[in-house]
């Protein structure tokens, strides 16, 4: 294995794995490298938590398949084996048996008899059996989960009108109905509390002997085995913190993991937001709530990173002008922030990804998620430069733009400006979009319920789109001229109207919040600009293309929709949110869908991408002290997954 940096690695199913480069790591001081190393160990030791959160059979199925996969002397060339290998790789990628984006359960593609024949070759002590369970009983219990498509069919069900908890396979609730969970958390709400914790964030809600109770994820609680490992490495990290402020932040996080107290988590979050000087930064915890249909429970994730000093200049300029952007937005003045506070932004270089950020990762992050902390203390916003770079390098010249972009004119715009405008749109989305606007004092922050995430993403995207076409960005030297924004408008509309559909199976609806948001925006402006033919679908050689006839009029429509979306959010207007999302962002035109998928398939590209982490190698002197940390890029996805399964497997197969 050579330590060469590769841009692309393997492809399987609908996935492609990319290596990302940690530019600048070698130039860090030894103390900084140690900090990154300890934090990356803390990141990797939490990985099993997400598997269990995503479904209660995931760890057992993964461990069983890994035991089979590493058997000696099995024929690795048969169709059954190849199908099983792909199934295992997809489980590794999704952190469970459901697709990471569509939430549908994977079809294994091999037979139960085949699996049984392999299981009998594994030493029983290497199988994740329950105490006293025979191998036959194990198969009896697990096989329906793998092979029966009606069992645990969806990780996350968001279909209006069904019980979203009882029909979702994720492991955030056990034996609890949607209405029971809703009233459980409704009862905890205190409308006079100006600083409410995020109820339910770090626990599983279960019903035992008819009584609802929370099993808290903490040291001494649920997931303690993983959390204690995380704590061990966080304590080491604290000793090499860059400064006192950062040491206190780490200490607060340690205390949160030790107590499970959500007030502690808020205290940690506030200190974390205020630490903007440290070069190295990280998240490690229960952060995003997309995986819970009710939006209470947070999946576990971690990222360790350090500031990219050059690129951060761009986001600094945006942040410094945050108040100008807020004041000039097309939103009703009642819904604007009078003082935009603490919009800090930076471009970071990811050093390790784990949990819900691995292998598929966000490219921009804005935290914390607590509404009151955001409005009182602000939020920290980042774009992850080395991940977007890896995406761009992989996309370069893959034939996609040639197939889907209307004409040479648009292609030239995209070639010239798309990399730049795409970064800028992400910055605007993260630094300004999510942080803008206020709720009316009487509005319940959870009023939009299952539509909340889509509306929030649409709000942030629209804020970015609206300003992308503003001459202010040229004045600030963020865009070179008044043409560049068109590249972003074109690719955004093309994606929202057509090309994001390549990620969806025929016959399925849009489910994921970011995808729904893009469709919502694109189809709303298409619809409202129809009369003036602002955006249109055009046929060429029986292929469908998007053409934008009036870019400035399109900008006005983005502004109109931003004003309406902000009103919905500020007033907590559930009915309007529902109407908008259901009308524009869920259903797909089956004819267009089929055409787009067909054209895309001919290009032989993978709709989803994920990342392979670098490997950090600690070099120690003869006393065992760390004397250097080396970075290694040569690991394949399978090698990495087997190593993580071997070295970072913290949780027992069953956690309850
Ligand atoms: Zn966002």
Give the mean model confidence (pLDDT) for residues 548-564.
98
Render 224-281 in DSSP notation, one character per residue.
HHHHHHHHHHHHHHHHT-SSHHHHHHHHHHHHHHHH--HHHHHHHHHHHHH--S-SEE
| E runs forming strands in 333-428 | 343-355, 364-367, 379-384
Interatomic CA distance for residues 376 and 195, integer angstroms? 10
Q: What is the pLDDT of residue 533?
A: 98
Q: What is the pLDDT of residue 17?
A: 95
User: Rounded to the nearest whole angstrom, what is the distance from the C-alpha of residue 586 to the centroid of ligand 1?
Assistant: 19
Give the mean model confidence (pLDDT) for residues 594-599.
97
Q: What is the pLDDT of residue 313?
A: 83
The tokens for 246 are 């950062």
Q: Which of 529, 558, 517, 570 is nearest to 330 (CA)?
A: 558
Q: Which of 619, 624, 594, 319 is nearest to 476 (CA)?
A: 319
Residue pair 287/299 in contact (Cβ under 8 Å)? The answer is yes
Interatomic CA distance for residues 516 and 104, integer angstroms? 17
User: Rounded to the nearest whole angstrom, what is the distance from the C-alpha of residue 327 to the centroid of ligand 1?
Assistant: 21
Average pLDDT, the chain: 94
User: By percentage, how much of the chain surpasses pLDDT 70?
Assistant: 98
Beta partners for 632?
Answer: 615
User: Rounded to the nearest whole angstrom, what is the distance from the C-alpha of residue 64 to the centroid of ligand 1?
Assistant: 36
Beta partners for 384?
Answer: 348
Lowest mean pLDDT among 127-136, 217-226, 334-343: 334-343
pTM of the prediction? 0.79
Render 144-194 in DSSP notation, one character per residue.
HHHH-TTTT-BSS---TTS-TTTT---TTEES--HHHHHHHHHHH--TT-S
Q: Identify the band that residue 344 occupies on the pLDDT scale cut at 50, 70 and 90.
A: low
The answer on pLDDT for 204 being more than 80 is yes
Q: Which of 3, 531, 380, 441 is nearest to 192 (CA)?
A: 441
Q: CA 35 → CA 105, 246, 280, distances in Å? A: 38, 11, 8
The answer on pLDDT for 4 being more than 50 is no
Residues in contact with 11: Cβ distance below 8 Å, sequence separation at least 6, in sequence order: 17, 606
User: By percentage, how much of the chain surpasses pLDDT 90?
Assistant: 86
User: Rounded to the nearest whole angstrom, what is the distance from the C-alpha of residue 430 to the centroid of ligand 1?
Assistant: 6
Q: What is the pLDDT of residue 426?
A: 87
User: Rounded to the nearest whole angstrom, what is the distance from the C-alpha of residue 525 to the centroid of ligand 1?
Assistant: 20
Give the mean model confidence (pLDDT) for residues 144-154.
96
Give the mean model confidence (pLDDT) for residues 195-213.
96
Give the mean model confidence (pLDDT) for residues 527-537.
98
Q: What is the pLDDT of residue 316?
A: 86
Return left, alpha or beta for 565; rule: phi > 0 is left, psi -120 to 50 is alpha, else beta: alpha
The answer on pLDDT for 187 being more than 90 is yes
Interatomic CA distance for residues 444 and 97, integer angstroms? 35
Condensed to tens digits (0 to 9), the pLDDT of residues 395-444 reads 777 889 999 999 999 999 999 999 889 989 988 998 899 989 999 999 99
Give the mean model confidence (pLDDT) for residues 242-271.
98
Helix (H, G, I), strand (E, B) or coil at 19: strand
Q: Which residues, by Cβ under 5 Å, contact ligand 1, an ion?
A: 457, 460
């Amino acid at each position: 294995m050579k330590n060469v940096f590769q841009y692309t690695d393997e492809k399987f199913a609908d996935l492609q794995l990319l290596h990302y480069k940690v530019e600048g790591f070698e130039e860090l001081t030894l103390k900084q490298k140690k900090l990154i190393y300890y934090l990356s160990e803390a990141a990797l030791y939490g990985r099993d938590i997400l598997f269990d959160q995503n479904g209660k059979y995931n760890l057992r199925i993964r461990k069983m398949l890994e035991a089979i996969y590493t058997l000696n002397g099995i024929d690795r060339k048969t169709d059954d084996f190849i199908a099983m290998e792909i199934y295992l790789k997809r489980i590794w990628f999704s952190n469970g048996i459901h697709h990471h984006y569509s939430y549908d359960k994977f079809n294994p593609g091999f037979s139960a008899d085949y699996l049984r024949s392999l299981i009998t070759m594994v030493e029983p002590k290497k199988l994740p059996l329950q105490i006293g369970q025979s191998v036959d009983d194990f198969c009896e219990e697990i096989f329906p989960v793998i092979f029966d498509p009606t069992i645990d069919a969806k990780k996350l069900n968001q279909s209006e009108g069904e019980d979203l908890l009882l029909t979702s396979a994720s492991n955030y609730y056990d034996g609890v109905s949607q209405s029971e969970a809703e009233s459980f958390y409704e009862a905890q709400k205190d409308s006079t509390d100006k600083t409410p914790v995020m109820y339910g964030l770090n626990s599983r809600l279960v019903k035992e002997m008819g009584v609802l109770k929370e099993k808290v994820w903490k040291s001494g609680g649920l997931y303690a085995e993983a959390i204690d490992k995380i704590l061990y490495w966080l304590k080491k990290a604290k000793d090499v913190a860059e400064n006192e402020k950062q040491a206190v932040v780490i200490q607060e996080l340690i205390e949160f993991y030790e107590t499970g107290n959500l007030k502690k988590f808020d205290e940690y979050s506030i200190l974390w937001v205020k630490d903007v000087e440290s070069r190295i930064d990280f998240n490690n915890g229960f952060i995003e709530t997309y995986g819970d249909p009710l939006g209470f429970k947070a999946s576990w994730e971690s990222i360790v990173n350090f500031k990219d000093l050059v690129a951060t200049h761009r986001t600094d300029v945006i942040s410094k002008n945050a108040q100008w952007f807020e004041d000039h937005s097309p939103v009703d003045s009642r819904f604007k922030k009078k003082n935009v506070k603490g919009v800090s932004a930076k471009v970071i270089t990811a050093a390790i990804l784990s949990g819900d950020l691995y292998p598929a990762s966000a490219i921009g992050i804005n935290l914390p998620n607590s509404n009151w902390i955001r409005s009182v203390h602000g939020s920290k916003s980042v774009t992850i430069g080395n991940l977007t770079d890896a995406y761009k390098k992989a996309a370069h010249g893959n034939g996609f733009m040639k197939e889907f972009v209307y004409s040479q004119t648009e292609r030239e715009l995209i070639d010239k400006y798309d990399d730049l405008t795409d970064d800028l749109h992400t910055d605007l989305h993260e630094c300004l979009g999510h942080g803008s606007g206020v709720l009316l004092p009487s509005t319940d922050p959870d009023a939009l319920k299952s539509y909340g995430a889509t509306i929030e993403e649409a709000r942030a995207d629209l804020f970015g789109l609206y300003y992308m076409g503003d001459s202010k960005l040229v004045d600030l030297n963020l865009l070179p001229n008044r043409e560049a924004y068109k590249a972003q408008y074109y690719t955004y509309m093309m994606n929202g109207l057509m090309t994001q559909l390549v990620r969806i199976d025929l016959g399925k609806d849009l489910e994921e919040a970011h995808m729904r948001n893009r469709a919502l925006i694109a189809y709303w402006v298409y619809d409202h600009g129809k009369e003036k033919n602002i955006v249109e679908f055009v046929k060429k050689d029986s292929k469908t293309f998007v053409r934008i006839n009036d870019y400035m009029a399109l900008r006005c429509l983005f502004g109109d929709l931003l004003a309406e979306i902000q009103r919905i959010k500020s007033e907590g207007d559930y009915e309007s949110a529902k109407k908008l999302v259901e009308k524009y962002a869920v259903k797909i035109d089956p004819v267009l869908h089929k055409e787009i998928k067909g054209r895309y398939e001919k290009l032989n590209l993978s709709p989803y991408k994920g990342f392979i982490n670098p490997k950090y190698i600690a070099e120690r002197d003869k006393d065992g002290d760390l004397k250097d940390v080396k970075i290694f890029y040569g690991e394949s996805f399978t090698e990495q997954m087997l190593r993580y399964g071997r070295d970072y497997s913290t949780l027992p197969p069953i956690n309850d």
